């Protein structure tokens, strides 16, 4: 098993408000917990909370069985604070629902700042199409765990 190097993901990370970011974060031990749609909806509630409180402007997201892809514009705070808050709040909610209290998410997350000249809609389409590429569904319209502002 490869040695965990999540701490290296933070090295050199810079947060810029007004910048779009593509985030990926993975469940602990890549457990497919989001096969349970109710648990996935608890995560959705936290994504919406981050938007409603003004920390991000959510552009697109998809929840896969063992990870989250999320595209947003950072409005206030830092990437670390926003992602840590969503991960912490969702872990508390999900662990409470299933009656556990252990680690829910892997440490760290992967982020990619979107350049100003990149087509954000193309990045959003890439995110939303993830279940198609993974073979989870043949029709993204029938997959319930995604959203994009351009609907």
φ and ψ at 14, to 5 degrees?
A: -130, 135
Evaluate whether residue 123 is within a structural domain: yes
pTM above 0.85, yes or no: yes
Kindly state the tokens that stand for 39.
């648990």
Nearest to 38 by CA among 151, 144, 149: 144
100: left (phi over 0), alpha (psi -120 to 50) or beta: beta
**Rounded percentage of the chain residues whose pLDDT exceeds 90:** 84
Say how far apart CA 23 and CA 101 lie, in whole Å.
25
Domain extent, residue 83, equals 17-137
pLDDT at 46 over 60: yes
Q: Give per-residue pLDDT as tens, 118-145.
A: 789 999 999 999 999 999 999 999 999 9
79 belongs to a structural domain: yes
Does residue 86 belong to any structural domain of this protein?
yes
- DSSP letters spanning 1-64: -PPP-GGGGGTT----TT-EEEEEEEBGGG--GGGSHHHHHHHHHHHHHHHHTTSEEEEEEEEE
CATH of the domain at 58: 3.30.70.1290
Q: Decide: helix, strand or coil at residue 146.
A: strand
Expressed in angstroms, the distance from the first to the final Cα of the chain is 41
Q: How many domains does the chain have?
A: 1
Q: Is residue 114 assigned to a domain?
A: yes
Q: Does residue 149 belong to any structural domain of this protein?
A: no
**Model confidence at 11, in pLDDT bands (50, 70, 90)?**
low
CA distances 143 to 68, 72, 112, 129, 146, Å, are 14, 21, 25, 10, 7
């Amino acid at each position: 098993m490869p040695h965990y190097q999540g701490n290296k993901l933070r090295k050199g990370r810079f947060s810029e408000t007004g910048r779009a970011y593509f985030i990926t974060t993975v469940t602990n031990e890549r457990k497919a917990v989001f096969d349970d749609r109710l648990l996935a909806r608890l995560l959705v509630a936290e994504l919406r909370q981050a938007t409603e409180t003004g920390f991000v402007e959510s552009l697109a997201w998809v929840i896969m069985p063992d990870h989250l892809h999320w595209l947003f514009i950072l409005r206030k705070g830092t990437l670390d604070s926003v992602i840590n808050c969503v991960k912490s709040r969702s872990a508390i909610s999900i662990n409470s629902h299933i009656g556990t209290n252990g680690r829910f998410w892997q440490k760290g997350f992967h982020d990619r700042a979107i350049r100003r000249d990149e087509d954000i809609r193309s990045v959003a389409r890439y995110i939303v199409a993830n279940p198609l590429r993974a073979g989870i569904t043949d029709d993204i319209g029938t997959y319930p765990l995604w959203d994009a502002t351009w609907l």
